[in-house]
Structure 1
Amino acid sequence: MLDRIRRTPLPLVAVAIVAMVMAIALTSLNGPGLSTDAVNYLSTADNVARGIGFRNFEGDLYVLWPPLYPAILAGIELLFGVGPQVSASLLNALAFGGIVLLMGILARRILERDFILCSWAVGGVLLSTSTFAISVNVASDPIFIVLALSFLILFDRYARDGDRASYVGLIAVCGLACLQRYIGATLILVGSVGIVYARWSRPRQGMGEAAVFAGLSVAPLGAWIVRNYLVSGTFLGVRDPETWKPMENLLDIGFKAARWFVPYQLSSHPAFWVVLVVGLAVVVLVRRKRLVRPLAGVEPEPITFVLILFPIIYLAAMVVLTKSIDHKNILYDDRLYLPAYFPLLVLFLLVIRLMLRLVLPEAASRMRRYALLGAAAVWLLFPAYGMYKFWVRSINDKGIAYYNIYNTPTYQDSAVTSNLKTWVSDSDLAVYSNYPAAVYLETRRIVGSLPGRADFYGVPQPLEGYAGRWPGRLPAVLVWYEPNTKRNLYSLSELATLAELRPLFTSGDGAIYALTPR
């Protein structure tokens, strides 16, 4: 793959560098966005670097996610002394540039080096607010997308050339993808089916290579799952008991994926889709002979087959496996589905080229090129405007937009946060909070879990069951932020039945209490 990168056009490399600079420039203003997941990654990385092991900011075992991302951040901290938050910001900026670069390489291979279509593909990623947003937040998604795009490029090389290095690269990339996100296992399924399809004329060889590929790719994930079971008694941890039904997931995916290609002002209206479907049907019906004749007896290229298969399998897994309601009805929150955007964008451009040939069959090549250039320019205005709004909002809000929770004025300027070090600086104190991630970011210490309505395994826990057990070690303080939106936690009044809450500091956005068992 390195030889292919060496032959990558300099303009594409320059655009990738621009992407990196964009991410670094925005995060340099106020730092990267930090969600609760982000604090899990950062705290686990810090604990690994300090020799505590894979535990998060509450001291809980790190099993809900695979280990690659915090392991990389911990390695950087150990080798270079750079803290996880800084290294994560730089790493994701590098990943954003890598995504743009790899998308350009993939587009050149599949779109026959068509300059306009390849530029459209690269522009569609460079200006993608969804992709940029996860790259300026601390998140595991950008590196996962780099691995997914690498998988597609390596598979194309393997299918075309039978290249052994590409085959080994596929195994390595899929193994790493599974260690970056559990959903990376879908790449193994896609790759296995793709290998069999690519070797259809030699079925025994195809089945053998697919079996070896799948077995070796899944081995690292298998080892991590065994580790999870040994330390926690669960294979992948226990998610929130709330569930989101598959049909709701499917509708959410369709709604948000449509926004990748069509402005919300159009995609939200059923009439638009009716007109589009009818229009396409008319074109296909009128030009059916031109459409059918070239395609008759032609089997899709292996990479085309995989480009279709990957979003189907990946999004089907999202339909079945996504249970959290945190993403529901949040217009911008499409990060779970985003890896499917890149193959879908390439397929979208292939369809655009095909439809242009059907609509303008007699037009000169130059005429079609002008039409394609105009379509690309108009389409790219839509993500460009979205990117502009994202920058304006991030600058005005003094914090990265979208997924950012804790690196915002809401927490940074909170009176409770400002007084944390005054009241919780004693290392002998046991500290509890309804927002432990916020406390960790300010103090860099493990924050104890509050009594919850269900335990780690999802088993209901009555309030009276905590009597005599919480707060446990003394002296102890409770850092309570308002408003409290944690549904699984008992309320402040309920906690007061377990311990005396003596105010040390109070304000409009919360309070800090000394705890004394009742």
Structure 2
Amino acid sequence: MNNTTVPQVGKTWIHKISRWQYIALALISLMGIYASVLMFWITSHGPGIYPDSVTYIETARNLLLGNGFLADGLPMTHYPPLYPLLLAMLGFFQDIDILQAARLLCILLFGINTVLLGLVVFICSNRSLLASICTMCIFLFSEPVVQVHSAALSEAPFITFTLFAFLLLSLHIARPNLYLIFAASLSIACAIATRYVGITILLPLVCGIMFLGSRTLKQKICDTFIATSIVLAPISSWVLHNFLTAGTGTNRTFAIHLLGFQHVKQLIFTIYSFIMPIPVSPSLKEILTGMPIFLIGIFALLIGLIGFLFLRLLASLHKNNYIKHHAHTVHIVLSSLCLIFSFSYVLFVMVSISFFDAMTSFDCRILLPVFLAIMVVCIFLTWSVSSVLQSQGLLVAFLLMAFLSIVFNGIISVPAMIDIHENGSGYNSKCFQNSEIIAAAGTFKKDIKIYSNIPDAVLFLAGKTADSIPWSTNPWTLKANQTYEKQWDIIEKELEDGNAIVLCFNGVKWKRWIHPLRALDPKRRMPVLVNLNDGIIYGVQRKGVASQGDTLRMKYLGDAGKSHHFEGGGSDLERGFELRKTGLHNSTVDRAIFEIKPVMLVPFCGVSISLQTHEASL
């Protein structure tokens, strides 16, 4: 039998904490502080901004303005309300910009999630500090974890609410307490209000209360009723609000688009990225991708081996009556909740991909909560079996795997951290901040309609509303767009009349559904207004607007070293030009003639030109 001291039925792990355990908890807390400091350094350029982030940020700003949950002028229904609400609350109480509020949330949540994961593992491994430290190091040096926590996305708070809920719920099941179940239910409600997939926590909630713990059936039914009522109240109110304001609950449409090989392939590479991201040459990766049967066979073999090992470990625990004797203790309850959650979460994602949202994928961002839950279960099995069998071999194997995982993850994550620190990420990266297309978009007059293959980038960076260029197939339902040709006819007419432009970005690798330049219909000979380094602007030249190579004579008004104003020339050009003096000038002269030569065509903007300059450049 196991000689390791394990909490007995009805007792919680918090009743008797030794000095060593206080030290362990202090070290876990220090790891959390280190994580927050690390994220502060990583996000020096601000949080990563991605398509979902733009919606969250715009909604938060509308909340601060008193406009409610609006994004792009419409009710925000595609996402739950809590994350933009958190951004707005931080922005209001801290009196900071929403972007800074998002960064502050990234910093806080990275530290909090590190501590929560460390505590969960500490409990599930029978209070092993070594297991907690290893797990937290894997968490800190995982490139997907860093990418998610450094961006203005809802995954980080979702993980926070989920881990906190599982901790509280396991404590309640081991030692029933009304306050614990109330707090756990409230945390689950917050998780669902952060991401709709949080509804999957209902299954471990109900199963945990009904099948674990020593309470009577009547008490368990009562607990289940209380918990589910608290959990479902906020999200039900939100869905009802959406129906009343927008006529849809979650802005999703039922359509059949079943899982395919591309999803299996992505799942394989995602698991690979999480566990042991050994660097692979692009040529080898391309060869493996081109061998679907071989890839599926390897994946099936891997899943089979993992399943066999999992069952063997469970059989060892069952054979020694470990689970029976400790069925109601916190570490078994907590591990069971994580295991049930993993199954329900993956099943929900599969259903979503197959019937509601074809854009959902098995990428690292989506599967991160499952990865953390399965890691907790694996650590529980490893420590419990090694304790029952009095064998150190399993622990040595785990520590070796953990060490290799940290090393290989670090090889990828450390350069990624440095890159985010130096260049930013997403729409907050230098490549977007210095984008020539964005610079042009910021100067267009309000009456010019903008179309783009990345309309959210135009909105976030240039502050201009842009419509998406037409899709031949709806990416969410995979149904053919019946009005595709008509939509392009309208755009072509607007281009010919000089009332619209099309901004087409290229080279955005992380946005897998982006319209590439080649996606534009070759039959439609849209007029190219200008070719730029990061894409093409389609449109026609308006009368009276300067062309590339034109020299415009403008009058300079002002003193050197100050903000200068130029008048005349009749040009609509505002930025993207070279300034060259044509007459004698010094700091005491208040008038001089300059030539302004456009180096990038930027039509449709205001007539006057203002710029910062210095005496040395005059």
User: What is the TM-score when the length of structure 1 is the normalising length?
Assistant: 0.80
Q: Residue 300 of structure 1 aligns to which amino acid in structure 2?
A: A
Q: Residue 120 of structure 2 aligns to which amino acid in structure 1?
A: L
Match for residue 364 of structure 1? none
Structure 1 residue 126: Cα displacement: 2.5
SS at match of 1:9: helix
CA RMSD in angstroms, aligned pairs only: 4.3
The answer (yes or no) to whether the contact 1:315–1:340 under 8 Å persists in 2 is yes
Partner Cα separation in structure 2 for residue 203 and residue 282 of structure 1: 29
Match for residue 387 of structure 1? 410
Q: Residue 412 of structure 2 aligns to which amino acid in structure 1?
A: K
- Describe the shift of the 1:325–1:387 C-alpha distance in structure 2 as closer, same or farther (beyond 3 A): farther
Partner Cα separation in structure 2 for residue 490 and residue 282 of structure 1: 50
Match for residue 334 of structure 2? 303
Partner Cα separation in structure 1 for residue 516 and residue 483 of structure 2: 10
Q: 2:483 aligns with which of 446, 461, 464?
A: 461
Match for residue 48 of structure 2? 33
Q: Residue 443 of structure 1 aligns to which amino acid in structure 2?
A: A
Q: Residue 420 of structure 1 aligns to which amino acid in structure 2?
A: A
Match for residue 506 of structure 2? 483
Partner Cα separation in structure 2 for residue 182 and residue 442 of structure 1: 28
Q: 2:375 aligns with which of 327, 341, 345?
A: 345
- Describe the shift of the 1:399–1:43 C-alpha distance in structure 2 as closer, same or farther (beyond 3 A): farther
Match for residue 321 of structure 2? 294
Structure 1 residue 321: Cα displacement: 1.2
Structure 1 residue 213: Cα displacement: 1.2
Q: 1:53 aligns with which of 68, 71, 94?
A: 68
SS at match of 1:63: coil
Match for residue 243 of structure 2? 229
Match for residue 577 of structure 2? none
Q: 2:210 aligns with which of 173, 176, 196?
A: 196
Match for residue 433 of structure 2? 412
SS at match of 1:478: strand
- Describe the shift of the 1:121–1:482 C-alpha distance in structure 2 as closer, same or farther (beyond 3 A): closer
Name which of structure 1's ranges 478-487 and 149-158 shifts more when overlaid on structure 2: 478-487
The answer (yes or no) to whether the contact 1:246–1:320 under 8 Å persists in 2 is no
SS at match of 1:419: helix
| Greater RCO structure (CA 8 Å; 6+ sep) | 1
Q: 2:532 aligns with which of 488, 497, 507?
A: 507
Structure 1 residue 17: Cα displacement: 0.6
Q: 1:44 aligns with which of 48, 53, 59?
A: 59
- Describe the shift of the 1:164–1:249 C-alpha distance in structure 2 as closer, same or farther (beyond 3 A): farther
1:376 is the counterpart of 2:399 = yes
Q: Residue 386 of structure 1 aligns to which amino acid in structure 2?
A: N
Unaligned runs of 5+ in 1: 362-367
Match for residue 318 of structure 1? 349
Partner Cα separation in structure 2 for residue 509 and residue 263 of structure 1: 31
Q: Residue 31 of structure 2 aligns to which amino acid in structure 1?
A: V
Q: 1:22-171 residue pairs with structure 2 within 5 A?
A: 22-28=38-44, 30-56=45-71, 58-171=72-185
- Describe the shift of the 1:194–1:93 C-alpha distance in structure 2 as closer, same or farther (beyond 3 A): same
Q: 1:259-274 residue pairs with structure 2 within 5 A?
A: 259-263=273-277, 273=302
Partner Cα separation in structure 1 for residue 515 and residue 464 of structure 2: 24
SS at match of 2:202: helix
Match for residue 549 of structure 2? none
Structure 1 residue 200: Cα displacement: 6.0
Name which of structure 1's ranges 209-218 and 235-244 shifts more when overlaid on structure 2: 235-244
1:439 is the counterpart of 2:458 = yes
Structure 1 residue 240: Cα displacement: 10
- Describe the shift of the 1:36–1:378 C-alpha distance in structure 2 as closer, same or farther (beyond 3 A): same
- Describe the shift of the 1:20–1:312 C-alpha distance in structure 2 as closer, same or farther (beyond 3 A): same
Q: Residue 83 of structure 1 aligns to which amino acid in structure 2?
A: D
Q: Residue 70 of structure 1 aligns to which amino acid in structure 2?
A: P
- Describe the shift of the 1:112–1:396 C-alpha distance in structure 2 as closer, same or farther (beyond 3 A): closer
SS at match of 2:218: helix
Match for residue 365 of structure 1? none
Higher fraction of helix: 1
- Describe the shift of the 1:276–1:130 C-alpha distance in structure 2 as closer, same or farther (beyond 3 A): same
Q: 1:353-368 residue pairs with structure 2 within 5 A?
A: 353-357=383-387, 361=391, 368=392
Query: C-alpha offsets along residues 355-408 of structure 1, whole Å, 9 cap, x if unaligned?
Result: 5457764xxxxxx3x98368426523423432342231453587679xx54233
Structure 1 residue 275: Cα displacement: 10
The answer (yes or no) to whether the contact 1:171–1:213 under 8 Å persists in 2 is yes
Unaligned runs of 5+ in 2: 1-11, 281-287, 289-294, 508-512, 543-618
Partner Cα separation in structure 1 for residue 234 and residue 299 of structure 2: 45
Rg larger for: 2
Partner Cα separation in structure 1 for residue 199 and residue 303 of structure 2: 36
- Describe the shift of the 1:237–1:283 C-alpha distance in structure 2 as closer, same or farther (beyond 3 A): closer
Partner Cα separation in structure 2 for residue 258 and residue 72 of structure 1: 33
Structure 1 residue 38: Cα displacement: 1.5
Query: C-alpha offsets along residues 267-324 of structure 1, whole Å, 9 cap, x if unaligned?
Result: 9856984995699599879xx7886133485473433332221111111111211355
- Describe the shift of the 1:254–1:496 C-alpha distance in structure 2 as closer, same or farther (beyond 3 A): closer
Query: C-alpha offsets along residues 29-48 of structure 1, whole Å, 9 cap, x if unaligned?
Result: x3332221121212222232
Structure 1 residue 171: Cα displacement: 1.8
Partner Cα separation in structure 1 for residue 125 and residue 426 of structure 2: 40
Partner Cα separation in structure 2 for residue 255 and residue 468 of structure 1: 41
Partner Cα separation in structure 1 for residue 416 and residue 323 of structure 2: 51
Q: Identity across aligned pairs (percent)?
A: 19
Partner Cα separation in structure 2 for residue 274 and residue 449 of structure 1: 40
1:14 is the counterpart of 2:14 = no
Partner Cα separation in structure 2 for residue 31 and residue 11 of structure 1: 28
- Describe the shift of the 1:391–1:73 C-alpha distance in structure 2 as closer, same or farther (beyond 3 A): same
- Describe the shift of the 1:258–1:502 C-alpha distance in structure 2 as closer, same or farther (beyond 3 A): closer
Query: C-alpha offsets along residues 441-466 of structure 1, whole Å, 9 cap, x if unaligned?
Result: 22224334545557899773243367
Q: 1:165-180 residue pairs with structure 2 within 5 A?
A: 165-180=179-194
The answer (yes or no) to whether the contact 1:247–1:319 under 8 Å persists in 2 is no
The answer (yes or no) to whether the contact 1:242–1:325 under 8 Å persists in 2 is no
Structure 1 residue 206: Cα displacement: 0.8
1:182 is the counterpart of 2:196 = yes
